[in-house]
């Protein structure tokens, strides 16, 4: 491993590449530029016609791109600033101001996309020839042709959403992020955030693991009726807008079209996940044996239990960065160089600070500008994997840098390809270097636990959502939703895991089903895709590399179907999804030996 000589330290990031300051001249200028772009688009309205010249069409597209760039700068600054410090009133106020300002600007330019969607096929085809890199984005817009309303109606929906359903979801966040959890650890009563509480579900002590979950459900349970009511409104609003007004065939079809993945493919993915659940059942049974639990059967509380009793060794941040960059370098020096840029540009915030948002994420905002990566690095070995994961996202964005701002973001189902692949590269490297059987075992257990949490768990969230949207429409109560959730957990775990009743209200603790309905299958999709790509890499070696780099370099400039079929992948084929599960089966076999 190359030494970095303490070159990397956990510092705050710099947002200067977005805006040099959130106040004063910098913001005024950016707002003025947004206004210029908005007025330019408005001024072109009379030129829009099915007969317009390709040259005029390109002019509109350029203005739309400039508008998007300013909207991204102004719209992303607030959330990033807020995640640095969630108690920051100025960040919150900035975010609110920008949301209002951007919605109004978007409404003024809405006519372009409505005109474009309404254009006859022949005229659209002619103009698409001039679209260059924006072609797929424009094609994708037209997929929504039959689900689009009149301009005045679209405007009202946008304006009412800010203080309507979006505000409702913000209230969910505000209520739940104020929760304080209490847990007695080694005789000491602690007050914890949810992130901190959830670290105890991986504690060696079975009592502590159970207590952590029970505390989560106790605290959420106190507000369960309010939180379930917010969910009911989310679901009803989804149905009113998307089924009644926009005529989508089903609630999930909205997400599928946005992802540009056919309904049948998503059904196949979810079916294969349910069908392959026994692979994890076998793992959970083995794990119960290795843990030597008194209950003989794994309790749901024990799902993420570590096999090693003593707390694992800590890895210094500097070493973690070196390990991740090394594993990239081994795959491709060019990829490692891209990753290096994120550090050189100071776009990573890995420091632990009070008030900072929990978890980790990567935000690629402008093509060619290093993405921003947030981490809460405390040194547990699994956080090295998190670093690899987020840096994978960063590489994905950087490899797609030569696309338009409107096409460089990869579609959701492909968004986890580089991140999961990077984790696999790191795990394999660590396995290759590690001779201690206990550490090797921990590495594999972590990888399989993560695969469970990303694939099966997320697929079952979506299976629940599919039913929940129907049950809410039928007027079912919270208790009935709880019962349904518990029944599905029992299906998911079969005979392998004992699920206690308190898990019935787990669904109200899942922010994604409130924020972005049916989002979660993108995780199952992404992880299974990345696993089978990794399998191909192991089989084909060097010749595989250009294939992966090509997938990543597309960003979002072509449909998932196009990008994957070029790589020889048929996402409609259940056997493709099964091949991802085979990789997990292989890891379980290895562990069992």
Nearer to Zn ion, 259 or 482 (CB): 259
Helical (H) or strand (E) element with 467: helix 457-473
Q: Kindly compute the dihedral angle of the four CA atoms of residues 173, 177, 181, 185, in this order, to the nearest 10 degrees.
A: 120
Percent helix / strand / coil, the chain, rounded to 5: 70, 5, 25
Q: What is the DSSP letter of 22?
A: S
Reported as half-sphere exposure (CB side, CA atoms, 13 A), residue 101 has a value of 22
Q: Which of 128-136, 251-259, 341-349, 416-424 is the region at the interface with Zn ion (rule: CB under 5 A)?
A: 416-424
The DSSP code sequence of 395-458 is HHHHHTTTS-TTTSSPPGGGTTHHHHHHHHHHHHHHHHH---HHHHHHHHHHHHHHHIIIIIHH
Nearer to Zn ion, 360 or 444 (CB): 360
Residues 6+ apart with CB under 8 A from 207: none
Nearer to Zn ion, 350 or 496 (CB): 350
Nearest-angstrom CA–CA distance, 75 and 19? 11
Q: Which of 199-207, 341-349, 415-423, 582-590 is the region at the interface with Zn ion (rule: CB under 5 A)?
A: 415-423
Nearer to Zn ion, 54 or 359 (CB): 359
Q: Which of 252-260, 330-338, 412-420, 470-478 is the region at the interface with Zn ion (rule: CB under 5 A)?
A: 412-420
Residues 6+ apart with CB under 8 A from 478: 224, 225, 228, 229
Nearest-angstrom CA–CA distance, 290 and 578? 27
Nearer to Zn ion, 235 or 411 (CB): 411
Closest separation in Å from C-beta 107 to Zn ion: 32
Nearer to Zn ion, 66 or 410 (CB): 410
Closest separation in Å from C-beta 548 to Zn ion: 16
Closest separation in Å from C-beta 512 to Zn ion: 13
Q: Does 176 bind Zn ion (CB under 5 A)?
A: no
Q: Which of 341-349, 418-426, 558-566, 583-591 is the region at the interface with Zn ion (rule: CB under 5 A)?
A: 418-426
Q: Which residue in 109, 419, 488, 524 binds Zn ion (CB under 5 A)?
A: 419
Instruction: Name the phi and psi angles at 347, rounded to 5.
Output: -100, 15
Closest separation in Å from C-beta 283 to Zn ion: 22
Which tokens belong to 294?
């008194």
Nearest-angstrom CA–CA distance, 375 and 353? 11
Report whether 296 contacts 288 (CB < 8 A): yes
Nearer to Zn ion, 300 or 393 (CB): 393
Nearer to Zn ion, 416 or 442 (CB): 416
> Crossing angle for the helix pair 251-259 and 263-291, nearest 10 degrees?
100
Closest separation in Å from C-beta 25 to Zn ion: 36
Closest separation in Å from C-beta 343 to Zn ion: 19
Residues in contact with Zn ion, total (CB under 5 A)? 1
Closest separation in Å from C-beta 572 to Zn ion: 24
Choose among 417, 419, 392: nearest CA to 564. Answer: 417
Q: Taking the CB of residue 28, how many other CB atoms lie within 10 A of it?
A: 10
Instruction: Return the residues of window 189-218 that contact Zn ion according to CB under 5 A.
Output: none
Nearer to Zn ion, 169 or 418 (CB): 418
Closest separation in Å from C-beta 389 to Zn ion: 6
Instruction: Return the residues of window 109-168 that contact Zn ion according to CB under 5 A.
Output: none
Nearer to Zn ion, 124 or 420 (CB): 420
Nearest-angstrom CA–CA distance, 440 and 431? 6
Reported as half-sphere exposure (CB side, CA atoms, 13 A), residue 505 has a value of 20
The DSSP code sequence of 535-583 is HHHHHHGGGGHHHHHHHHHTTTSS-HHHHHHHTT--TT-HHHHHHHHHH
Q: Which of 13-21, 31-39, 411-419, 585-593 is the region at the interface with Zn ion (rule: CB under 5 A)?
A: 411-419
Closest separation in Å from C-beta 421 to Zn ion: 11
Q: Which of 26-34, 417-425, 564-572, 582-590 is the region at the interface with Zn ion (rule: CB under 5 A)?
A: 417-425
Nearer to Zn ion, 496 or 529 (CB): 529
| 3-state secondary structure labels for all residues of 41-60 | HHHCHHHCCCCCCHHHHHHH
Closest separation in Å from C-beta 523 to Zn ion: 8
The residue with tokens 């030494």 is 3
Nearest-angstrom CA–CA distance, 133 and 141? 14
Closest separation in Å from C-beta 453 to Zn ion: 12
Residue nearest to Zn ion (CB): 419
Nearer to Zn ion, 66 or 527 (CB): 527
Q: Which of 52-60, 194-202, 414-422, 484-492 is the region at the interface with Zn ion (rule: CB under 5 A)?
A: 414-422
Q: Which of 59-67, 136-144, 419-427, 560-568 is the region at the interface with Zn ion (rule: CB under 5 A)?
A: 419-427
Closest separation in Å from C-beta 504 to Zn ion: 28
Report whether 463 contacts 270 (CB < 8 A): yes
Closest separation in Å from C-beta 223 to Zn ion: 29
Nearer to Zn ion, 61 or 394 (CB): 394
Nearer to Zn ion, 419 or 492 (CB): 419
Nearest-angstrom CA–CA distance, 447 and 460? 19
Closest separation in Å from C-beta 419 to Zn ion: 4
Q: Which residues bind Zn ion (CB under 5 A)?
A: 419
């Amino acid at each position: 491993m190359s030494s970095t000589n303490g070159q990397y330290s956990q510092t705050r990031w710099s947002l200067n590449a977005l805006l040099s300051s959130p106040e004063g001249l910098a913001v005024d200028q950016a707002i003025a530029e947004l206004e210029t772009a908005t007025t330019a688009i408005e001024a072109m309205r009379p030129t829009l016609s099915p007969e317009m010249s390709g040259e005029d069409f390109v002019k509109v597209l350029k203005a739309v791109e400039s508008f998007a760039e300013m909207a991204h700068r102004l719209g992303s600054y607030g959330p990033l600033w807020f995640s640095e410090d969630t108690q920051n009133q100025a960040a919150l106020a900035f975010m609110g101001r920008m949301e209002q300002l951007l919605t109004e600007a978007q409404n003024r330019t809405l006519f372009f996309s409505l005109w474009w969607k309404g254009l006859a096929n022949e005229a659209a085809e002619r103009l698409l020839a001039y679209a260059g890199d924006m072609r797929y984005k424009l094609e994708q817009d037209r997929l929504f042709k039959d689900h689009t309303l009149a301009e005045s109606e679209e405007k009202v929906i946008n304006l009412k959403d800010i203080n309507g359903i979006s505000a409702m979801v913000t209230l969910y966040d505000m209520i739940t992020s104020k929760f304080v959890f209490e847990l007695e650890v080694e005789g000491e009563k602690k007050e914890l955030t949810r992130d901190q509480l959830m670290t105890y579900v991986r504690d060696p002590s079975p009592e502590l693991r159970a207590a952590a979950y029970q505390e989560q459900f106790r605290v959420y349970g106190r507000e369960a009726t309010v939180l379930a009511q917010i969910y009911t409104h989310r679901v009803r609003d989804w149905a009113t807008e998307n089924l009644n007004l926009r005529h989508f065939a089903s609630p999930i079809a909205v997400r599928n079209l946005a992802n540009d993945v056919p309904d049948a493919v998503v059904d196949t993915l979810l079916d294969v996940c349910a069908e392959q659940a026994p692979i994890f059942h076998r793992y959970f049974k083995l794990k119960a044996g290795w843990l030597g639990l008194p209950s003989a059967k794994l309790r749901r509380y024990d799902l993420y239990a570590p096999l090693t009793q003593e707390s694992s060794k800590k890895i210094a941040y500097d070493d973690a960065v070196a390990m991740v960059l090394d594993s990239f370098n081994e795959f491709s020096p060019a990829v490692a160089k891209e990753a290096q840029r994120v550090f050189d540009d100071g776009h990573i915030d890995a420091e632990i600070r009070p008030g900072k948002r929990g978890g980790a994420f990567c935000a690629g905002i402008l093509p060619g500008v290093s993405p921003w990566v947030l981490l809460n690095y405390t040194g547990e070995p699994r956080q090295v994997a998190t670093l690899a994961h987020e840096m994978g996202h960063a590489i994905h964005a950087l490899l797609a840098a030569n696309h338009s701002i409107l096409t460089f973001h990869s579609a959701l189902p492909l968004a986890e390809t580089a991140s999961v692949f990077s984790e696999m590269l790191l795990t394999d490297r660590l396995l290759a270097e590690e001779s201690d059987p206990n550490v090797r075992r921990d590495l594999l257990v972590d990888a399989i636990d993560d695969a469970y949490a990303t694939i099966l768990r997320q697929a079952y969230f979506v299976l629940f959502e599919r039913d929940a949207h129907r049950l809410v429409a039928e007027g079912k109560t919270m208790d009935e939703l709880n019962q349904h959730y518990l029944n599905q957990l029992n299906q998911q775990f079969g005979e392998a895991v004992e699920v206690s009743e308190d898990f019935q209200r787990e669904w109200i603790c899942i922010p994604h089903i409130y924020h972005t309905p049916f989002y979660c299958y993108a995780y199952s999709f992404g992880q299974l895709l990345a696993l089978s790509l990794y399998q191909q890499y192991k089989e084909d070696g060097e010749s595989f590399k250009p294939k992966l780099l090509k997938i990543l370099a597309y960003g979002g400039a072509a449909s998932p179907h196009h990008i994957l079929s070029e790589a020889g992948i048929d996402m409609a084929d259940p056997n493709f999804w099964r091949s991802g599960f085979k990789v997990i089966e292989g890891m379980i076999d290895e562990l069992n030996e």
